[in-house]
Amino acid sequence: VDEARLRTGERVAVKIQYPEIAALVQSDLGNLRALFRAVGVLEKETDLMPLVEELGEHVPAELDFVNEARNSEAIAKGLEGRPDVYVPRVVWDYTTRRVLVTEFIDGIKINDVAALRAAGVDRVQVMQTLVEAYCVQILGHGFFHADPHPGNLVLLPGNCIGLLDFGMVGRLEERLREDIAALSL
- Give the list of residues 6+ apart from residue 150 with CB closer than 8 angstroms, or none: 109, 110, 111, 112
Sheet of 2-5, strand order: 2-5, 11-16, 99-103
Contact 162, 156 (CB under 8 A): yes
Strand partners of residue 4 = 12
Active site residue 147: yes
- Exactly one of 2, 47, 122, 147 is catalytic; name it: 147
Q: Which residues carry out catalysis?
A: 147
